[in-house]
Structure 1
């Protein structure tokens, strides 16, 4: 019996000594981190906190200082990760919430930004000056497609879109689109006047994004297309369901598209990976693998893009898509590639320029390798699109 009492006493004494030593380590770490924080030595502060955490010395105060250092050095993804650690222990930390909001806006992650904003008090919300009408952004696009094919006229594309915040966790993006192109074909071409049949398509698109948690979003989209060609009119309805999970440097998304497109049954399964090696938009990659099932026939399509910042307010993005893109759905079902002639390969370059605090200009050029469905010959097409996005 005495032996058991001594054993218990020894264990309790040992635990007390370990706790005391841990508290001393934490006090020393907090003191050192505070000195680095006050000196503005952000890189050294980041290195010190990371080493302390590796050595099992951790606290919300250390995480907050590391998050602030990451934010000031431009690694917004890492900063968000640190602030989220703070909020796990101290969900009422208003400053950590506010900084998490700003960091998410810097990488265009509105869902997570508004999720954090929902926990802020009224005075702080007034300071960050959110749009009183819930408008997030508005966009205009205008493009021309130039086919190297005597039996295809130039194609024209227009889009007007707007993003709305319906609640702190629910957002709605809407777009209205118009595509027109004259199709010339042996047998009904008016060679004298060079008039053909017009392929005209009017479209409406809506996508909802719901923040289930600070880093998990549920996606839902609907796309309606009214297509007229020759004497035929088609009504097409497409839907999308998906989920997105954000991590420190990688964002993962899986979704399924489904519906009827013209006279074909469509299902498309997508897996997408976005990678931010620097934790910001100075360098990023977007990779997407898709399996398109069109009336029972499967096609594999792969899309890859790389973007980077080249000047203070200028970004370049290079993209390529491989595979038969006949009736392919891109950008969460926003763009539907169901033109008369299917695209077999596409690549291009985009330039983004930040004009002031609100306007983002973009100029896109794409080269497409297409196949004439009536003559079974290949031809090239060049596309140019100019757009502007106004962020409120």
Structure 2
């Protein structure tokens, strides 16, 4: 009976040896074939072959890196990041994966994710790329005028300046100062001899936003917005906060957050859910969908914003957006923009043109159309705005 045990054991060993040999052969074929496809620059074929090989059960870092680079070189930065991340899950200090993950995130304008990956690069690479854990990321200004079709309102003037900087590889700070002014002209009575009086709506604002990257996919967000509003000889001070979390996925980014605080002595709470979709894995085409539930003056207001951006020619992008719902005291862009003008906006359409002058400088032109409701009389009117912006990336 003992010899049977040895025969069975020998059979198991031989089977295991054959399996290992088959795996060895599979690795060697996949390694040589993927190397040849990469060397020849057959990027789409490399991607297809790589995924077929993975589906067949052969998986190793070299194959993942070649698939990722094929995505990177064909400008699909989202898929490239996903593949580099799979390599980094097993080897957090793989310098090739970190280097290209850094640039993939940069090309998606996700500077915090880029910084997170830069934190794992060796000192020589950091010096070569001129990257440090502290320093300015960008600085910009924008200014515009709002042209009003109502004789009861003067044109509005808006200006905004701000900058963002690293406070560490995982921490980023954005700060802005904003000024807004508009004359409000009303009547006492309705007859031809009724008295007219003019009020000035002046507002000065400060905004700060902190973003902390937990890992390659999740980011914590917090912001604070302070407003000083002078209206009808009265000064109002408002404080608004935001807390949220963002998930960076392969094809989509998801964000959930809540705004809360007080605005012109009114408590406000606004819950937001945002989805950003990259169908081609880059900024050549993208969509942003945002749904908000705003609780103000004991009522819920649902607001929906939909935007689509696309590259039209070299260095030029357009982004079109519409916003539906009552936008009284609506909070947008992680609490940066506060729509608390005297009159409520019921519908908004905006068109933004981006032109990249060079690797550092970007021009921005924004046109906005709004349907407004007079706060004191049952009158609707239109408002058209033009804003010019300039951004410098360090």
TM-score, normalised with respect to structure 2: 0.95
- Which residue of structure 2 aligns with residue 286 of structure 1? 288
Q: Which 5+ residue runs of structure 1 have no aligned equivalent? A: none
SS of the aligned residue for 1:234 comes to strand
2: distance between equivalents of 1:110 and 1:104?
A: 7
* Distance in 2 (alpha carbons) for counterparts of 1:12 and 1:268: 65
Aligned residue for 1:65? Answer: 66
CA offsets 1:213-262 (integer angstroms, 9 cap, x no match): 01110000000000010121111000000000001110000000000111
1:135-174 equivalence runs, <5 A: 135-174=136-175
Q: 1: CA distance between counterparts of 2:290 and 2:133?
A: 36
Using a 3 Å threshold, how does the CA distance of structure 1 residues 360 and 193 change in structure 2: closer, same or farther? farther
The total of aligned residue pairs comes to 391
- Other-structure match for 2:334: 332
For residue 126 of structure 1, what is the aligned residue in structure 2? 127
Question: CA offsets per residue over residues 33-83 of structure 1, 9 Å max, x none?
Answer: 011111111111111101111212111100101111111111111111111
Per-residue deviation, 1:90: 2.2
Runs of 4+ in 1 over 6 A off after TM superposition: 191-195
Moved more, 230-239 or 12-21: 12-21
Deviates more, 1:127-136 or 1:191-200: 191-200
Q: Distance in 2 between matches of 1:121 and 1:154?
A: 54
Could you tell me which residue of structure 1 aligns to residue 54 of structure 2? 53
For residues 277 and 157 of structure 1, the distance between their equivalents in structure 2, rounded to whole angstroms, comes to 34
Contact kept, 8 Å, 2:115 with 2:133, in 1: the verdict is: no
1:33 corresponds to: 34
Distance in 2 (CA, whole Å) between partners of 1:265 and 1:348 is 28
Moved more, 259-268 or 179-188: 179-188
Aligned partners of 1:43 and 1:173: how far apart in 2?
39
TM-superposed CA distance for 1:11, in Å, is 4.0
Deviations 1:66-120 (A, max 9, x none): 1111111111111111111111222221121111101110010111100010011
Measure, in 2, the Cα distance between the counterparts of 1:42 and 1:193: 74
Deviation at 1:8, TM superposition (A): 5.3
Q: Secondary structure at the match of 2:317?
A: strand
2:347 is aligned, of 345, 348, 351, to: 345
Cα 1:153/1:131, change in 2 over 3 Å: farther
Q: Where in structure 2 are there 5+ consecutive unaligned residues?
A: none
Matching residue of 2:304: 302
TM-score when normalising by structure 1: 0.96
The answer to whether the Cα contact below 8 Å between 1:60 and 1:90 also exists between their aligned partners in 2 is: no
1:100-115 aligned at under 5 Å gives the runs 100-115=101-116
Quick check: 1:281–1:309 contact (8 Å CA) kept in 2? Answer: yes
Greater displacement, 288-297 / 320-329: 288-297
- Structure 1: distance between partners of 2:201 and 2:164: 29
Distance of 1:7 and 1:362 partners within structure 2: 75
